[in-house]
Amino acid sequence: MEKQIPEASKKIDKNRDVRRILIILFLVASAFFAFWLINMNCCSSPKAAKAAKAAKAATIKSYLDMASVSAADYYSSSSSYIGFDKSEDYVKICEKIAGTGNDKSPCSAQINERSYCIKAKLSLSQSDGADYWCVDSGHSGGSITGELVADEYCTPEKPYCAESSLGMPSLPEGYTFNNYSIEKQLDVVCQKHTDCAIPAEYSIQSRCPFVSLCLKGKCTVVCPAQEN
């Protein structure tokens, strides 16, 4: 007499077979996806790769523009930029930048009571090192649209985006800031050149058209060189 297989066992075997088929299909699909991904990364044309990099850079720039707007709103409600880099808006924007495939620390910020500077790397690999997009407060409560800068900007030593945004003081004809001698470092903390005033004892001297610049975070009296 032939032994009968219980109905419950048949169902278990059937379910096991279905799971095996699904697992095999998943592995096959995964293999095809991996092949497609490798093919896309390795075999895409230089033109397509360049376009993709430009699109990524534009996205990061737009996120930093959003950060600039958020910073202005933060200042209007707090009368200070301090704490903006810990705010929900800032954190979310940096997360979005990280989502573009940027490095693990996509945002770098320098925050002061009356100014801010935020940059993110664009991965453009420029020969001059200017591969960061930077936005700042414009040092007057306003915002600039953005600047392409090197890694040395938006740091404690240079808490701004570019030299052009600093408002260098004017000089008499025949003098230049390309070279100067330091006369005295003042006990005045600064963020930008316009924070610094020339002391009266130097403004009345005729031996040099002294000016006060913000150098390494301190107002410093300098004597500009004469042009050759």
Amino acid sitting at position 34: A
Per-residue pLDDT for 35 more than 70?
no
Structure token pair of residue 150: 């090197």
Span 92-107, pLDDT tens digits: 999 888 887 766 568 8
Q: Given this model, what pLDDT does residue 20 score?
A: 64
Helices 88-99, 46-78: crossing angle, 10 deg rounding: 180
Span 144-186, pLDDT tens digits: 568 888 888 888 878 888 765 556 677 888 887 767 889 999 9
Q: How far is CA 70 from the centre of its chain?
A: 15
Q: Distance (Å, rounded) from C-alpha 110 to C-alpha 115?
A: 8
Nearest to 190 by CA among 208, 164, 217: 217
With contact defined as beta carbons under 8 Å apart, do 219 and 188 qualify?
yes
Predicted TM-score of the model (pTM):
0.55
Structure token pair of residue 204: 């009345």
Per-residue pLDDT for 189 more than 80?
yes
What does 104-168 look like in DSSP terms, one character per residue?
SS--EEEE-SS-EEEEEE-----TTS--EEEEE-TTSS-----EEE-TTSSSSSS-SS-GGGS-P
Q: Distance (Å, rounded) from C-alpha 109 to C-alpha 43?
A: 37
Selected residue with higher pLDDT from 171 and 21: 171
Q: Given this model, what pLDDT does residue 6 score?
A: 57
